[in-house]
Amino acid sequence: MLVGDSGVGKTCLLVRFKDGAFLAGSFISTVGIDFRNKVLTVDGVKVKLQIWDTAGQERFRSVTHAYYRDAHALLLLYDVTNKASFDNIQAWLTEIHEYAQQDVVLMLLGNKVDSAQDRVVKREDGEKLAKEYGVPFMETSAKSGLNVDLAFTAIAKELKHRSMKLPNEPKFKLHDYVKKEVRGSGCCRS
Ligand SMILES: Nc1nc2c(ncn2[C@@H]2O[C@H](COP(=O)(O)OP(=O)(O)OP(=O)(O)O)[C@@H](O)[C@H]2O)c(=O)[nH]1
pLDDT digits (tens, 9 = 90+) for 133-156: 999 999 999 999 999 999 999 999
What local confidence, expressed as pLDDT, does residue 143 receive? 96
Average pLDDT over residues 67-86: 97
Q: Model confidence at 161, in pLDDT bands (50, 70, 90)?
A: confident
Backbone angles phi, psi at 35, to 5 degrees: -145, 160
Is pLDDT above 70 for 61? yes
Provide the whole-model pTM. 0.93
The best mutation among 12, 54, 148 to test binding of ligand 1, ranked by most ligand atoms within 8 Å of the C-beta, falls on 12
Tell me, in angstroms, the distance from the centre of ligand 1 to residue 45's CA. Answer: 32
Query: Which residue ranges form the domains of the chain, and what is each CATH number?
Result: 2-186 (3.40.50.300)
pLDDT in tens, 14-23: 999 999 999 7
Does ligand 1 lie within 6 Å of residue 119's CB atom? Answer: no
Q: Is 8 in the pocket of ligand 1 (CB under 6 A)?
A: yes
